[in-house]
Amino acid sequence: MDSRGFILLQLVVLWSLATTAFSLSPYYYQNICPQALPTIRKVVEAAVYKERRMGASLLRLHYHDCFVNGCDASLLLDPSPTIDSEKNSRANQNSARGFEVIDAIKAEVDQICGRPVVSCADILAVAARDSVVALGGPSWQVQLGRRDSTTASRAQADTDLPSPFLDLPALINSFKNHGLNERDLVALSGAHTIGFAQCFTFRNRIYNATNIDPAFAVERRATCPLTGGNTNLAPLDPTPAHFDTAYFNNLVKQMGLLISDQALFSGGSTDDLVNTYKLYPQVFWYDFAQSMIKMGNIKPLTGDQGQIRANCRLVNYY
């Protein structure tokens, strides 16, 4: 082997070792702090028991974190002279919620572990899974070992978080930009089987859309007037506190609440998949779990990158 080939081989081996050393693993905390995951589950279950809507809110935090520069807990950082907080972005301001539950999880986990060893990014990922399970949905092995960012970007959040007003091509492109395909798009949109949306996000649809069930539009207008009431809530599907396939049933009946929901069943390339999930809940559950794992792998910080925050809302400066 000539010297160039030997050097290339060394580089390949080093890359392989680095990838192995810093890849995520569901067993990351097994030796570091074996009580970490049960502690997260306990706090999530208590929060969801207290308020069923909180499950959807915690799941949404993980989505909105991963779609902006990867799953690095940048969403959790409060505004400061050096942090242009993603909490103030269009999609999150007066909308993202559940931060106090993440704080409670962090406090309990750090206490049980004796020190800050569990990242806020991992807490978001595990809390999302535990929220889905608490509301009757599937479970999956969360890949762990993420570290926390030291920066945030409101501008990036404004650019990268999918709008509820997007049509299908724009949705497909948005997810493609994060390494997610059409199957991921439909499966992950199925998260709208739980939770609520504010009036301003669906007003245009219920008053102006043509691909909407007339009786459904009238029902939603009762709590979402043409003017005012922007923050009035409506369920994303008929069973907002239960993880099921009612969301997909609604899409087939032209009763999707958001423009971006109904876009998934509008004569386009995702219609067949919506029908599949409607008819075969077990297929949806499997695909949702796989897509959540895939989304959780978007650009994580690992190894010596980032930090493990002592407070999820603040960057460590020591």
Tell me whether residue 192 is one of the annotated catalytic residues. no
User: Of 62, 64, 178, 242, which residue is the catalytic one?
Assistant: 64
Q: Which residue has the tokens 């609520």?
A: 196
> SS3 string of the chain?
CCHHHHHHHHHHHHHHHHHHHHCCECCCCCCCCCCHHHHHHHHHHHHHHHCCHHHHHHHHHHHHHHCCCCCCCHHHCCCECCECCHHHCCCCCCCCCCHHHHHHHHHHHHHHHCCCCCCHHHHHHHHHHHHHHHCCCCCCCCCECCEECCCCCHHHHHHHCCCCCCCHHHHHHHHHCCCCCHHHHHHHHHHHHCCEEEHHHHHHHHHHCCCCCHHHHHHHHCCCCCCCCCCCEEECCCCCCCCCCHHHHHHHCCCCCCHHHHCCCCCCCCHHHHHHHHHCHHHHHHHHHHHHHHHHCCCCECCCCCECCCCCCCCCCC
Cα angle: 53, vertex 92, 263; to 5 degrees? 80
Are the beta carbons of 123 and 102 closer than 8 angstroms?
A: yes
Are the beta carbons of 120 and 312 closer than 8 angstroms?
A: yes
Are the beta carbons of 28 and 144 closer than 8 angstroms?
A: yes
Task: Return the active site residues.
Answer: 64
